[in-house]
Chains A and B, each alone.
Chain A
């Protein structure tokens, strides 16, 4: 097991390096750079070529590509992402608060998704082929079809019209005022979490159906064990395995959902920062964000696999 974990950790390095190379090259293929983006937004298109070259030199854009790349990688290894080309501020500073927001939102959405998926999946499985089952299935399929940003718009609309109330628009860190913080973030978390729960609900249902047909469930029932105890202790525990995998795999969708939902709820998170960075052609910031997103994704996948092996001793990795 330890060997397996070690091997998987090592395998992450080439993948991340590949991600770094790919985004580095992609960005440099994009027409226009940060200097052009800045002068075009300032409306003075007639900037002298000299001045623009000077600006590029300051940002190190005149150096050969390999030098730029090794310079960037060297910084990353020391966890120093450099300065944003657009604002000139250290990227670590730019990202810090927004990362806290996006991470909190991601965790809350995952919690919402799990809290929806597990009970709904179990109920649907117990009441298979009844109207309860159909209702749950329609609810979860609809979750996949409804765009989370539209759901967000509808939520805001409903709160405005029915309660004449809007969630706070300014982000307060949880440790300063937990109430304001939750009042703002619970809505996007619900919008994203609902969509996120759809696949997990279906997985929970089918896993429960499979487990309920197992011999040990029949044995437990024959013993006259209390039904609730059978469901929780015997069935749910075993049905959770594939659900955990799905929750891990769907994490990618969660991140995509966040990019768009942050826009709707006016949240100054990583998603919004990413959209801005790309339109500013802010190479350093975009690179850092993509690398972080990919690392999170790869790490969650890894953690999912490990959790899977840990929870099910029958699985042995080599």
Chain B
């Protein structure tokens, strides 16, 4: 997964002034309409999350026992839940939780993974072997089981959920980044840096890390959708974000299942929100991967 000429060109183009940047966005849209659709969904979701205060018709936490479990109507477009809270408002506020957890967890997981991967490749030898064995061990924990264990240690809540989702992602990213970093290590400029007497940390951070940006970005975007899904699963199990915070997985828990027959809106709409968000991130991630790494295109 070497850094290709195309990806370098892309990076160079994105660094140029605004007109070029706009051109790149237009090119991307033209060449990869599906990816652009994903980007559009992400943009839409981000705007909704940012403008939740203005967009949501009700407060996400206000209970209205007079309107418990009322169906979609002119006042509550998507109905209310068992506490009389407006489902649409909770979905709108829930996009904040999903984005914070999704972006936070993927960023922490992918970045730590990339650092470990690059350092492991750079030092090589025994250090590399030990690090790889440790990564093997962590990978053999099924994703959700490791996340559950971390939640059990740290306790629930938004920040702990971010860490719980980030931890299982570290070894997965470290593996992919390491394999690219192995070829970067053989580059003359790394030898040059070493000959110039730079410290190891400087070579790793300043010389090697920027050159594994392509796999890093690919892993980061691939994680985003997964992280949102994992957060929803954890919250659904009652081990993620806690009530009364608005979170999509949490909205599907408990009453949504119990009253599914009489109040199906409680079960349907939050799930749709999760699906749409993950769909958008996956589409965008796939297209970005194709654009950054043409060798993977067929997959």
Contacts and interface: CB of A to CB of B under 8 A. Distances in A.
Contacts of B298: 206, 209-210
Nearest to B280: A145
Nearest to B278: A145
A297 interface: yes
B239 interface: yes
Contact of A15 (B137, B268, B274): B137
Given A14-B133, A22-B138, A259-B145, A30 B236 contact: no
Interface residues of A, number: 49
A290 B136 CA distance: 15
Task: Give the interface SS of chain A, mostly helix, strand, loop or mixed.
Answer: helix
Contacts of A31: 153, 155
Interface string B129-160: 00001101110111111001100110100000
Contacts of B229: 145, 147
Q: Which of B137, B257, B264, B276 has the most CB of A within 10 A?
A: B137
A23 B261 contact: no
Interface string A143-182: 0111101100110110011000000000000000000000
B148 A141 contact: no
B188 to A, nearest CB: 30
Interface in B226-248: 229, 232-233, 236-237, 239
A288 interface: no
B143 A149 contact: no
16 contacts: A18-B133, A18-B134, A18-B137, A22-B137, A26-B149, A30-B153, A142-B275, A145-B229, A147-B249, A153-B252, A154-B271, A161-B261, A206-B299, A259-B145, A278-B149, A281-B152
Interface of A: 14-16, 18-19, 22-23, 26-27, 29-31, 141-142, 144-147, 149-150, 153-154, 156-157, 160-161, 202-203, 206, 209-210, 252-253, 255-256, 259-260, 263-264, 274-275, 278-279, 281, 290, 293-294, 297-298
Given A14-B133, A15-B137, A161-B264, 15 more contacts: A22-B137, A30-B152, A141-B279, A145-B229, A145-B274, A150-B271, A161-B261, A206-B299, A209-B298, A260-B237, A275-B148, A290-B141, A294-B140, A297-B140, A298-B140
